[in-house]
Amino acid sequence: MSVEQISVFLENKSGQLADVCTVLAENGMNLRALSIADTKEYGILRVIVPNAEGALKVLRGAGYTCKITPVLAVEIDDRPGGMARALQVLSAAGISVEYAYAFISHKAGCAHMILRVSDMEETVGTLERAGIPILETDALLEN
């Protein structure tokens, strides 16, 4: 039930994000979701693309250090408290969230949240019991 996310390690200097996005664009790779976290010296760019293996190959060919990371994609209500509800369910179950990011869905009233969690299998069961839909890659990437 996981979605493949690409994590790219970038030096924290001007132009790095533009460069990696350009490499992907020049190779026909459409970014569907993006998150970046940084420190003083480096950043971790996390992206969801339709063809993770292809994007990984392109990025490595361009000299980037990157890897595919399995994450969960869930559908949440696009309203105040939509994300909080999902996170409260996980917190009540004692599930640790390593990181999360969200973006608007094409489906009216919905948003998508990407989660990296301590226990994928337990998280899926917990969210499903709470009625929070887990998205497969195809559903996440629909236009």
Domain-terminating residue out of 26, 41, 68? 68
Note if the pTM is more than 0.85: yes
Q: Give the residue with greater pLDDT, 142 vs 51.
A: 51
Residue 38 shares a structural domain with residue 85: no
pLDDT at 104: 86
Q: Is 95 helix (H, G, I), strand (E, B) or coil?
A: coil
Model confidence at 106, in pLDDT bands (50, 70, 90)? confident
Which residues does 90 contact at the CB level (< 8 Å), separation at least 6?
97, 115, 117, 123, 126, 127
CATH number at residue 97: 3.30.70.260
Average pLDDT over residues 15-35: 94
Q: What is the pLDDT of residues 60-84, one digit of tens each?
A: 999 999 999 999 999 999 999 999 9
CATH number at residue 28: 3.30.2130.10
Model confidence at 105, in pLDDT bands (50, 70, 90)? confident
